[in-house]
Amino acid sequence: MIQTAQHTLLDYQRDGFAVVEQVYAPAEIRALLAVIEQAGAQGGSFRRTADVFAIRNLLAELPALRPLIWNERFKELLHELLPAPQHLVKAIYFDKPAGSNWVVAWHQDLMVAVDRRAELPGFGPWNVRPEGVNVQPPRQYLDGICTLRIHLDACDAGNGALRVVPGSHRHGVIPAADIADFTPHAQVCPVPAGAVMLMKPLTLHASHRSLDERPRRVIHLEFSSQRLPAGLRWREDAAPAS
């Protein structure tokens, strides 16, 4: 059983990110990777290049991951962060292979996955991708989302750890022209294998290319306790594994 240190949760609220260590044991990480490595790479949810392997709609594509992810430590952490029910908003797997030149520019996670398009005040822009419909919701929904990034490898500046701007989430949606005003305050967020990085979607973050031969494999999950209006649903919403 874990009990997240109070200062970790306070750091998360203040800075927009924090790290909770020892959520997954080495054997649990191996089990997660075994399921992922057996997956094919067909269809709109999969992207595989020399620099990245990504799976969107992860738990729909690989449902065997669900009981492995929802171990007791993860469930306790999720309940500390959000009141029930916790709706799954987004589930993605990212693999930055050794020596990858994949760079992610400074951004906030503004788009959420929904089941359909609906004309609602404050919702937009919309886009439709092979994996489904995405939209930028009003800020109140973004503020209510908690991201949990499960690190399957130790991660630091050498293999593409996220760079984050502490406190940037408190400024709401930051116009692209203003992002450069925030980035001088950025810091690297190293994360050990088996840990979970907590992050708010409005936290400015970026990722440089890998500088060494270590992989950086991450399961990225977003949760919210809010319901969407007018019958709109989080596309990946499903009950947690028991």
- So where are the chain's domains? 6-224
**pLDDT score, position 1:** 41
CA distances from 130 to 49, 98, 113, 120, 127 (A): 17, 28, 12, 23, 10
Distance in angstroms (rounded) separating the CA atoms of residues 185 and 153: 26
> What six digits make up the tokens of 21?
């260590």
Cis amide bond preceding 121, omega within 30: no
**pLDDT score, position 40:** 65
Q: Across-strand partners of 234?
A: 114
Distance in angstroms (rounded) separating the CA atoms of residues 207 and 157: 9
The per-residue pLDDT string of the chain (242 residues; one tens digit each, 9 = 90 and over) reads 455 677 889 999 999 999 999 999 999 999 999 999 887 665 556 566 544 578 888 998 899 999 999 999 999 999 999 999 999 999 999 887 766 666 789 999 999 999 999 999 999 999 988 778 999 999 999 999 999 999 999 999 988 899 999 999 999 999 999 999 999 999 999 999 999 999 999 999 999 887 888 888 999 999 999 999 988 999 887 544 44
**Helix locations, 45-132, DSSP H:** 58-61, 65-69, 72-81
Burial of residue 144 (number of CB atoms within 10 Å: 0-12, 13-18, 19+):
middle
Buried b (16+ CB within 10 A) or exposed e, 204-240: bbbbbebeeebbbbbbbbbbbeeebeeebebbbbeeb
Are the C-beta atoms of 233 and 125 separated by less than 8 Å? no
Q: What helix, strand, coil percent values describe the chain, rounded to 5?
A: 25, 25, 45
Please name the residues in contact with 41: beta carbons below 8 A apart, sequence gap of 6 or more: 48, 53
CATH superfamily of 6-224: q2cbj1_9rhob like domain (2.60.120.620)
pTM: 0.91
Give helix 72-81 / helix 6-15 axis angle, nearest 10°: 50
